[in-house]
Amino acid sequence: MIEAIINGLSGLGAGLAHMHWSNPVMMAIGCLLLYLGIKKDVEPMLLVPIGFGAVLVNIPLADLMGEEGFLRTIYNMGVTNELFPLLIFIGIGAMTDFGPLLENPKIFLLGAAGQFGIFLTIGLALAFGFDKLDAVAIGIIGACDGPTAIYVTSKYAPHLLGAVSVAAYSYMSLVPVIQPPIMKFLTTEKERAIDMNATNTDNKPVSKEARIIFPIVVTVVGGLIAPQGVPLLATIMLGNLMRECGVVNRLYKASENEIANVVTLLLGISIGATMEGQAFLKGQTLLILAFGFVAICLDTVCGVLFGKLMNLVTGGKINPLIGAAGISAYPMAARVVQREGQKYNKFNFLLMHAVGANTGGQVGSVMAAAIMLSVLKGMGIIP
């Protein structure tokens, strides 16, 4: 009897005996993510489940990512098959108003320039000796677009999913800190003060028909150009079509609320589950975080420089600051542009123009990923 009690007691606290040094470190990192999400309001919808997932997966012997662990079940349900990021895209499409972009379609080009950081960072990662597909996953952090980064990484470099996702979401939330110094460094005070409402009088309002046809055209044309990216393009555009057509309000509202919320929870906890100490705590992870930072800086540099080029071509009608909004961090990047513009001209309202560039950046990031995947397929790098 006593022996049985002793044996029984020995089972308690077994986790402590099997603790590897990396587990408490990762638990601390998980708690840091929870702190950032809860206390500092840094992407709380994602950092809270990711942080909690990171804590859970580092409890020894709980085996939550084992064959039958519940985190593994969730992971297999929607990350392995890329379903979760795609469902989130439907929600993003339903939340996004492409009106400001359609009013001034040339702003679309800023959404392309804002993706150059992806490709430049891939080159950089390759130069540092990363494998081709790992470099692609690292570069995609520059899309500034969580679901796109997760989609590409889970498909082609699943072992980097935790690091890439944390980098993507952390830097997205740091856009207000990262971008302003770069914007200031690359532009003159005179450029920053350009009032686009006074210079751009040719913006035309958009009809309901054009708004409805837009997502269909983008899906078909984008799909024909880069078939590998159809899932990404189609889901974001389906969400937007439901928003604009006005006849499926229940589906549109469910997409932007209930579906997006449930999937965000499951996606977040699944990402956290990939942050198991022994796999995560490597020098490579630090390099990935550094490259992610470089990618977002390069996006901003290319966006602002392209804004300067457009300013030159249009005879000074474009405020180059809006180039910084040509990334997918919506609507944060647009708000940063508005704030920076007003510092130099307090009557300047760049917000709607920046929102146009920002939504262009959303389509741009998806398009860039789609083109990248199609080029990789063309080269025979992916099946």
Partner 1 sequence: MDNWTFGLTLMFVGMGGTMTALAFLAILMDLLKRVFPVKEEQKE
Give the C-alpha separation, 354 to 103, whole Å.
12
Interface with partner 1 (CB under 8 A), residue from 144, 193, 296, 371: 371
Q: Is 311 in the site for partner 1 (CB under 8 A)?
A: no
Interaction residues for partner 1, span 245-284 (CB under 8 A): none
Closest CA to 89 of 252, 255, 219, 221: 255
Closest CA to 168 of 241, 88, 97, 271: 271
Which residue has 């430049």 as its token pair?
120
Give the C-alpha separation, 378 to 247, whole Å.
40
Within 8 A by CB and 6+ apart from 83, the residues are 77
Q: Is 364 in the site for partner 1 (CB under 8 A)?
A: yes
> Is the Cβ of residue 222 or residue 320 nearer to partner 1 in the bound state?
222
Query: Cα dist. 277→25, 137, 280 in Å?
Result: 7, 20, 5
Interaction residues for partner 1, span 145-204 (CB under 8 A): 204
Measured in degrees and rounded to the nearest 5, phi and psi for residue 68 equal: -115, 10
* Residue 28 beta carbon to partner 1: minimum distance, rounded to whole angstroms: 36
* Residue 198 beta carbon to partner 1: minimum distance, rounded to whole angstroms: 22
Interface with partner 1 (CB under 8 A), residue from 208, 262, 286, 312: 208
Q: Is 222 in the site for partner 1 (CB under 8 A)?
A: yes
Q: Is 132 in the site for partner 1 (CB under 8 A)?
A: yes
Instruction: Assign 247 to helix, strand or coil.
Output: coil
Q: Is 330 in the site for partner 1 (CB under 8 A)?
A: no
Give the C-alpha separation, 91 to 240, whole Å.
9
* Residue 26 beta carbon to partner 1: minimum distance, rounded to whole angstroms: 31
Q: Is 16 in the site for partner 1 (CB under 8 A)?
A: no
Q: Is 218 in the site for partner 1 (CB under 8 A)?
A: yes
Q: Is 93 in the site for partner 1 (CB under 8 A)?
A: no
Interface size with partner 1, residues (CB under 8 A):
48
- Using the contact rule CB under 8 A, the part of the chain among 125-133, 155-163, 246-254, 292-300 near partner 1 is 125-133
> Is the Cβ of residue 20 or residue 106 nearer to partner 1 in the bound state?
106
Give the C-alpha separation, 204 to 104, whole Å.
7
Closest CA to 196 of 102, 317, 42: 317
Q: Is 19 in the site for partner 1 (CB under 8 A)?
A: no
Cis upstream peptide for 331 (omega within 30°): yes
State both tokens at 298: 């390069």
> Is the Cβ of residue 272 or residue 356 nearer to partner 1 in the bound state?
356
Closest CA to 87 of 264, 273, 327: 264
Closest CA to 115 of 291, 298, 336: 298
State both tokens at 252: 């549109």
* Residue 361 beta carbon to partner 1: minimum distance, rounded to whole angstroms: 10
- Using the contact rule CB under 8 A, the part of the chain among 58-66, 215-223, 238-246, 317-325 near partner 1 is 215-223
Q: Is 372 in the site for partner 1 (CB under 8 A)?
A: yes
> Is the Cβ of residue 69 or residue 99 nearer to partner 1 in the bound state?
99
Q: Is 241 in the site for partner 1 (CB under 8 A)?
A: no
* Residue 133 beta carbon to partner 1: minimum distance, rounded to whole angstroms: 10
Q: Is 94 in the site for partner 1 (CB under 8 A)?
A: no
Give the relative orientation of helices 351-379 and 116-127 as an angle to the nearest 10 degrees: 50
Please give the residue ranges that form the binding site for partner 1 (CB under 8 A).
101-102, 105-109, 111-113, 115-116, 118-120, 122-123, 126-127, 132, 135-136, 204-210, 213-214, 217-218, 221-222, 225-226, 360, 363-364, 367-368, 371-372, 375-376, 379, 381
